[in-house]
Amino acid sequence: MRLESLARTGYIWCSIFGWYNPGNNPLLPADHRVGLAPLRNTANPDTKRLAHELIDVTGLLRHLHTLDFTPATKEDVLLVHHEKYVNRVELESNHTGGDCGDGASPFGRGAYDIALHGLGAALSMLKAVVKGEVRNGYTLMHPPGHHAEPDTGRGQCMFNNGAISAEYALRNLGMRKVAIVDVHVLTISVHQDRNFPADTGMAEHRGEGKGFGYNFNIPLLPGCGNGAYEYTLETLVLPALWRYKPDLIIVASGLDAGIMDPLARQSVTNKGFVSITKKLMRVADELGHGRLVYLQEGIHRIIETLAGVQTLEVDPYEGFLDTQYGSALEPWQKKAIDRLVPHLDDIK
């Protein structure tokens, strides 16, 4: 493969993302009175830092088109979020820190500024892809954002980078239709049923009023692996994208479905994530534009697939994970997925 074709994948990482402080608790605040010890937060930024180092030491970095970026502005954040919420987070960040809103998403001093850097990286990648400077893009950013709502953060997320990026593309980059695919505008969310937040993401949550049909929730039963996720892509996600025909696809890319993830109970391996990425690349190309932007939420290895480069690095757990339960599509999983096919009719 020619190197000039490999350099068409944009990449952004900045060391400041690794300085985001989510506090010393895995989910709930440490409290010795109820037996909660001060442990590393599951959303700590070290995973992103190590992912960048892996991209570097495998030699992949030199094949990518590394992009510069500028931090986002408060005006960018206000495209989606309420001013009262944004002002509160900014104020707390300028003092001793605070919480994004759900009581389980703490942040330290300076977090607001780091979040603006992360959003700025997302918007810069977006502009590079839309302008044709790169074929597709991968932004290794922190903090994550896909759980954040207009008036509050939750799930370790401060600002919803994907939603803001979509709104920015519609208002400022000439995009008529944008789709967000969240493997965790048209929003297609593939996720474990009632995992987090437990009161959201139901199949019947399909948008309201003029927005009905623009939200496509695909709750999967616990235990779904590569087979179930690949079947979901072919049966629901790709047909939805074909019906909607977006000018840009944004992927809120997370690890929650991974077999080694500590929070969810799904069984997708690296092979599965690679397959998902290839399918999304294919549909972006078939739609005639190829515009695909990955915004990292959790962590998994998809950058090789986007760039079309295979390094010598292999997953040392691959052989073991392939033998574990959950890889194949099971009949009850297929039945649960098939029942959502009629929802495709409401996508405009």
Residues designated catalytic: 147
Q: Can you give the three-state secondary structure of 173-215, one letter per residue?
A: CCCCCEEEEECCCEEEEEEECCCCCCCCCCCCCCCCHHHCCCE
Q: Which residues pair with 294 in a beta bridge?
A: 138, 251
Q: How many CA atoms lie within 13 A of 332 on its CB side?
A: 6
Q: How far apart are CA 197 and CA 160, in angstroms?
A: 15
Q: How far apart are CA 97 and CA 55, in angstroms?
A: 32
| 45: its two tokens | 């930024």
Q: How far apart are CA 61 and CA 55, in angstroms?
A: 6
The residues, ordered by sequence, that sit 6+ positions from 147 with a Cβ below 8 Å of its Cβ are 153, 154, 155, 156, 157, 160, 196, 197
Could you tell me the CA-to-CA distances from 62 to 1, 98, 251, 307, 339 in Å, in that order?
A: 14, 39, 24, 11, 45
> φ, ψ for residue 136 (rounded to 5)?
-150, 175
Contact 217, 181 (CB under 8 A): no
Q: How far apart are CA 273 and CA 209, in angstroms?
A: 34
